[in-house]
Amino acid sequence: MADTVEPRLSRGLRDLLPDQMLARQWMIDTIRGVYELYGFVPLGTPAIEYLDVLRGSAAGAETQQSIFTVQNPEKEQLGLRFDLTVPLARVIAQYRDLPRPFRRYQVSPVWRADKPGPGRFREFTQFDLDSVGVESEIADTEIIAGMCDTLSALRVGGYRVRYSSRGILNTLLAYAGIPAKLGADVFRVLDKLDKVGPQKVRLELTTGYVDSSGDPIAGVGLASEQVDKIERFLQIRSDDRREVVSQLRELFAGVEGADTEVGVVEKISNHLYALGYEDDRVSLDLSIARGLAYYTGPVFEAILLDAPEFGSVFGGGRYDDLVMRFLGEKVPATGASMGVDRLLAALIHLKRAGQQKSTAKVLITNMDAGLHEDYIAMTWELRRAGIPTELYLGSARGPGKQLKYADQWGIPIALLYGSNEKEKEIVTLKDMDAGRQRAEALANRQEWLDERPGQREVPRVDLVAAVRDMLGLIEH
């Protein structure tokens, strides 16, 4: 016996079987609809980029260990993209004649060689939208409004988009007397507030601690009074954005630059009020920091109120310096990124995503080799009428197995046509779902057979109308 290869996938990778792809495509189509309404344009970039492009300028390469490296025959240093923002920055720098603002969306897989966890994979899909070349806070407003419209279109139930800004956080550093160079560390720790709670955040900001698994966690080394000031800042919590703004002004009175930074989040808030995005959907939440170092202005993220355990499903912010790596010139940019897989998992959890297993609405069964021409004709007749139809091409001869096939793929209507039907110039249409429901009440097979639940005979000439009618009934 020949050796066979074990069918398997490398860790962190998974297949998307048809039912998962159908749910995902519905979701992506819905989101795309929102952004095309907003006038964003699509962009595609390769999965593979030069490593120095991924890591930033060759000079200041940060160590980025979770990049998958790739080899080409020329032995160049290549890697798989880990997000869609860096390729966007490259495109902006490379195609100087692109009109700006450049407002694009992109839905593509990205790769990270991290340890996989529940709902975390090494290959996953992001849906990104960004406005490049706009300094105005209206661009940030538009991103937040788009996040709201997307979540509404997906019918996720309640959601909350929370935003703050790096400018506010930098003002906090000044207020608390924390050196600016500790900013990135402080923000990274603050970003964990929701997850680990205030006590651990305080420990991590000061001395560090040893976690439950015995792992030491380094502290940032702040003084207790500095953390007190951070906590005073974090105590400003209100569902009313106006209230947060006014308390911020009070707290930061006299701190240099505070008026400007508070002004930015206030303007965003006012635009959103004017557009009908009220406090129940968007809040100014000062605990939002975002872990990434490259944000420079407003930052935002969205959570689902009915599925908070899925965490942030949509997040982003302003990053005015990213394109600088390539151009040496500051290009303002703001955008958001959605974790397609995470949001889809949440939608499935909330039973908001479709349960469809097949695209076909009708299965034409194939019972009599002498009638092939009729089967083919009926199949195309339905297809040309816009009804997704599959002609059974497998080897099973009797209707039993073919109906089982329809059942397994969740095809809602089966069409039966043999010599009986041919003679009477009819077709038999079977509503598979009605039969399934009826089966629950019948214990005896003979009854089940005699009754032929969900079945209807219609004139052959009325095929298309009858199928439409039955689909209408099924989909009410």
Partner RNA sequence: GCCGGUGUAGCUCAGGGGUAGAGCGCCUGACUGUGGAUCAGGAGGUCAUGGGUUCAAAUCCCAUCGCCGGUACCA
How open is the CA angle 108-109-112, to the nearest 5 degrees? 145
Under DSSP, is residue 42 helix (H, G, I), strand (E, B) or coil? strand
Cα–Cα distance, 343 to 339 (Å, whole number):
6
Residues 175-234 that bind RNA (CB under 7 A): 188, 192, 196, 211-215, 217
Q: Which of residues 59-118 bind RNA (CB under 7 A)?
A: 62, 64, 66-67, 82-83, 112, 114-118
Q: Does residue 277 touch RNA according to CB under 7 A?
A: no
**Does position 57 bind RNA by CB under 7 A?**
no
Verify binding: residue 330, RNA, rule CB under 7 A: no
Q: In 3D, which of 292, 332, 340, 285 has the Cα closest to residue 316? A: 292
Q: Which is nearer to RNA, 146 or 454 (CB)?
A: 454
Separation between Cα atoms, residue 303 and residue 92, nearest integer Å: 30
Any alpha helices (H) in 191-255, and if so which ranges?
Answer: 193-196, 198-205, 224-234, 241-251
State in angstroms the smallest separation of the CB of 83 from RNA: 7
Q: Under rule CB under 7 A, which residues in 350-379 are in contact with RNA?
A: 367
326 near RNA (CB under 7 A): no
Q: Rounded CA gap, 143 and 283, in Å?
A: 14
The interface with RNA within residues 5-34 (CB under 7 A) comprises 11
Structure tokens at 360: 């076909």
Q: Which of residues 435-464 bind RNA (CB under 7 A)?
A: 435-436, 439-440, 442-445, 448-449, 452-455
Q: Which stretch binds RNA (CB under 7 A): 26-34, 158-166, 244-252, 412-420?
A: 412-420
Q: Are 238 and 217 in contact (CB under 8 A)?
A: no
Q: CB of 415: closest distance to RNA in angstroms?
A: 10
Between 117 and 472, CB nearer to RNA = 117
Shortest separation between residue 37's beta carbon and RNA, angstroms = 29
Question: Which listed residue (433, 464, 468, 471) binds RNA by CB under 7 A?
Answer: 433
Stretch of 29-37, 135-143, 397-405, 463-471 lying at the interface with RNA (CB under 7 A): 397-405
Instruction: Let me know: does 383 contact 67? Beta carbons within 8 Å.
Output: no
| Residue 293 binding RNA, by CB under 7 A | yes
Do 163 and 282 meet the contact criterion of CB atoms below 8 Å apart? yes
Taking the complex as a whole, the smallest distance from the CB of residue 74 to RNA amounts, in Å, to 23
CA distance 223 to 206: 6
Cβ contacts of 347 within 8 Å, gap of 6 or more: 23, 27, 154, 156, 353
> What's the per-residue H, E or C state across 113-177?
CCCCECCECCEEEEEEEEEECCCCHHHHHHHHHHHHHHHHHCCCCCEEEEEEEHHHHHHHHHHHC
CB of 166 to RNA, least distance (A): 12
413-432 residues in contact with RNA (CB under 7 A) are 416-421, 428, 430-432
- Judged by CB, which is closer to RNA: 121, or 277? 121
Check if the beta carbon of residue 27 is closer than 8 Å to that of residue 155: no
- Write down the least CB distance from residue 389 to RNA, Å: 17
Residue 263 binds to RNA (criterion: CB under 7 A): no
- Residue 101: asked if its preceding bond is cis (omega within 30°), the reply is yes
Instruction: Return residues touching RNA (CB under 7 A).
Output: 11, 54-55, 62, 64, 66-67, 82-83, 112, 114-118, 188, 192, 196, 211-215, 217, 291-294, 367, 397-401, 403-404, 406-408, 416-421, 428, 430-436, 439-440, 442-445, 448-449, 452-455
